[in-house]
Amino acid sequence: MRKFDGVLFDKDGTLFDFHATWSAWTAGLLDELAAGNKELVAKLAAAIDFDLELSRLRPASAVIAGTPGDITRLLMPWVPGQPTEAELLSRLNGLAARARQVEAVPLQAFVARLRGTGLQLGVATNDAEAPARAHLASVGIEADFHFIAGYDSGYGAKPAPGMCLAFAEDQQLEPARCVMVGDSCHDLEAGRRAGMATVAVLTGVAERDELAPLADVVLADISHLPAWLGI
């Protein structure tokens, strides 16, 4: 008998390589918001913990585990033109939807393998739902997921368990027969609080020692998941 019936994935740092996708995007975002003003770029970078010298997000950055709303609130004091919070959030979500995604592994083949075993698949991300769907569609896998939720889908944001519980309810699964797969403590905490098994991957920012206490297993990347699932 198969041990699990559903697998719920985080998006950034799990399905997609985090730094290859989002550090490059953030560098371009800051330059665009500051209209090339280097002094302003530095202020914006400091607000969201972006290391300009390394062109890399620091581990504490809200871009890593926060929501677009969190990022918007941090940037607001420094963005020229005095946009409203809603205007800036809409702008960030629009730019994020067009960010070039770097797959952690070849995703079409990976997802097809999981679906071929009858597993129900979902995505739970602290990104907004619309950009998340755009990112999945950009690599041809949006339709392969039975459930896709962002922080704005009505279930709350991780580490709260709302999205995990909503996936199980939507697919009529027992949480104990589901797995939450992610690259951050927020992902794993959400899964545990929902009563799911938890799998950590190292394609995000967090290190093995940080993730291991919250995970049933720590994998280099999601390509090792089928073997752990026994499929």
Kindly report, residue by residue over 2-27, the tens digit of the pLDDT. Answer: 799 999 999 999 999 988 898 888 99
CATH number at residue 222: 3.40.50.1000
**Nearest by Cα to 187 from 63, 6, 11, 3:** 11
- On whether residue 133 sits in a domain, the answer given is yes
Kindly state whether residues 183 and 161 are assigned to the same domain: yes
> What long-range pairs does 50-59 form, CB within 8 A, spacing at least 24?
50/23, 50/26, 52/27, 55/23, 55/24, 55/27, 56/19, 56/23, 57/18, 57/19, 57/22, 57/23, 57/26, 57/205, 59/205, 59/206
Kindly state whether residues 169 and 105 are assigned to the same domain: yes
Kindly state whether residues 174 and 90 are assigned to the same domain: no
The per-residue pLDDT for range 181-209, each reduced to its tens digit, is 999 999 999 999 999 999 999 999 899 99
Kindly state whether residues 208 and 105 are assigned to the same domain: yes
Kindly state whether residues 119 and 172 are assigned to the same domain: yes
How far from chain centre, in Å, is Cα 132? 8
pLDDT confidence of residue 138: 96
End position of a domain, from candidates 97, 126, 148:
97
Q: 71 with 63: CB under 8 angstroms?
A: yes
- How many domains is the chain built from? 2
**Mean pLDDT to the nearest integer, 167-174:** 98
Kindly state whether residues 115 and 83 are assigned to the same domain: no
- Where are the alpha helices (H) located in 38-180, listed in sequence order? 38-47, 62-65, 68-75, 85-97, 107-115, 129-138, 162-170
The per-residue pLDDT for range 204-216, each reduced to its tens digit, is 989 999 999 999 9
Kindly state whether residues 87 and 118 are assigned to the same domain: no
| Residue located via tokens 């019936």 | 5
Kindly state whether residues 167 and 72 are assigned to the same domain: no
As a whole-number percent, the residues of the chain with pLDDT over 90 amount to: 84
- On whether residue 134 sits in a domain, the answer given is yes
**Nearest by Cα to 136 from 5, 29, 10:** 10
- On whether residue 33 sits in a domain, the answer given is yes
The per-residue pLDDT for range 80-101, each reduced to its tens digit, is 988 999 999 999 999 888 888 9
Kindly state whether residues 82 and 126 are assigned to the same domain: no
User: Mean pLDDT across the chain, nearest whole number?
Assistant: 95
| Residue located via tokens 């020692």 | 209
Domain that holds residue 81: 19-97
| Residue environment code for 183-217, b if the CB has 16+ CB neighbours within 10 A, otherwise e | bbbbbbbbbbbbbbbbbbbbbbbbeeebbeebbbe
End position of a domain, from candidates 97, 131, 157:
97
pLDDT at 50 over 80: yes
End position of a domain, from candidates 71, 97, 123:
97
- On whether residue 206 sits in a domain, the answer given is yes
Kindly state whether residues 116 and 170 are assigned to the same domain: yes
pLDDT confidence of residue 183: 96
**Mean pLDDT to the nearest integer, 142-154:** 97
∠ at Cα 113 (107, 116), nearest 5°? 135
- On whether residue 188 sits in a domain, the answer given is yes
pLDDT confidence of residue 1: 59
